[in-house]
Amino acid sequence: MNRTAKLGRIGQSVWLDNITRSLLNTGTLERYIRESSVTGLTSNPSIYDKAIGGSSDYDEQIRRLSAGGAGTEEIFFDLALEDLRRAADLFRPTYDRTDGVDGFVSLEVSPLLADDAATTAADAARLHALAARPNFFIKIPGTTAGLKAIEETIFGGVPVNVTLLFSSEQYLAAAEAYTRAIERRVEAGLNPYVPSVASVFVSRWDGQLAGDLPVDLHLKLGIATAQMTYNAYTELIHGDRWSRLMNEGARPQRLLWASTGTKDKTASDVLYIEALAAPLTVNTMPEETLLAFGEHGTVSQTLQARPDLPDPALMARFKAAGVELTDLARRLQEAGVESFATAWQSLLAHIEQTAGAAVAR
């Protein structure tokens, strides 16, 4: 059994946090599915900024669409939808085998809509209809406006990947939006199962505080906050409210670990993968992290929901060092939205440049 398959054996799905046209054209994604037990895939504006700006793989399609009168954002979504439909088709056997639990791909709405709930919900429905695949998540950030859009999008039957969550409080707010939407569907006599994942970003906690903490606290906050979130997650899905919904045929939103690549090159490159091996979760990994875990990762223990973890003494030390979790989580979410907006503008500029070069010729 390969190393990544062992994560599947404990109940954790392994997804790839990357998409490029070359991954599809060279058969690499298909090989990851076959040899590395990859069962899903996520994308975001930063990933597509690198994919479009870092290769010529999309140039011909950009020029053709531009010549046909398509606008810049329309061109981007055409590019992304072509890639992600192909990926969704590769994952369709997993989707069918798991009865719609696994085998998903994800496309993000424009991050420029982060404060516009109504337009986000409308765009999510539009993009999902264009994708025309059942195993297709639309990513919506868990901002204040995003939570409103998430509830309406789920109520409308569109699968959602809630992105840019950082703390247990932010996770619970997203889970509440999902739960309310499912309860509304039950009351309306609609199918109570609309797939969703809640993506909690882990390594950015440690990256934000790199160099600002005592050495013995280095690279410990991300895992500690993940432990708190896992505790909240398991308590929620095993509580009375979700027991009633599951009796109606609903399934809980799954918890997804995101940002699990190790940024600190002096630390283990599989630090967050090994620490966050947990049942009933997804781990979406950068390509280099997936390959590293396949080479030397181990599953020696699994994350457990325990009220005594994270260690209260450890969290007291973070507080004494000036770390205020609620405020830092808010700032991390705001920075995440800003980072994706910057990448969005960059990828659109790459498209405009390529389209403009074709006109100039």
Cis peptide before 310 (omega within 30 of 0): yes
What pLDDT, on a 0 to 100 scale, did the predictor assign at position 359?
44
What pLDDT, on a 0 to 100 scale, did the predictor assign at position 360?
46
Q: DSSP string spanning 1-36?
A: --HHHHHHHTTEEEEE----HHHHHTTHHHHHHHHS
What's the CATH number for 3-360? 3.20.20.70
CB-based contacts of 55, cutoff 8 Å, min separation 6: 20, 21, 22
* Residues that are catalytic: 139
3-state helix, strand, coil split of the chain in percent (to 5) is 60, 10, 30
Q: DSSP string spanning 96-107?
A: HHTTTSS--EEE
Instruction: Give the pair of three-digit tokens for residue 29.
Output: 């994604």
Name which of 316, 317, 324, 277 is nearest 297 in CA terms: 277
What pLDDT, on a 0 to 100 scale, did the predictor assign at position 211?
86
Binned average pLDDT, 10 residues per bin, the chain of 361 residues: 92 98 98 98 98 97 97 98 98 98 98 96 98 98 98 98 98 98 98 98 95 93 98 98 98 98 95 97 98 95 95 97 97 97 98 78 49
Name which of 165, 197, 173, 147 is nearest 329 in CA terms: 165
- HSE on the CB side for 174, CA within 13 Å? 31
CB-neighbour burial class of residue 349 (10 A; exposed 0-12, middle 13-18, buried 19+): middle
Instruction: Give the pair of three-digit tokens for residue 162.
Output: 């809630």
Residue 12: count other Cβ atoms within 10 Å of its Cβ: 27
**Rounded Cα–Cα distance for residues 286 and 54 (Å):** 17
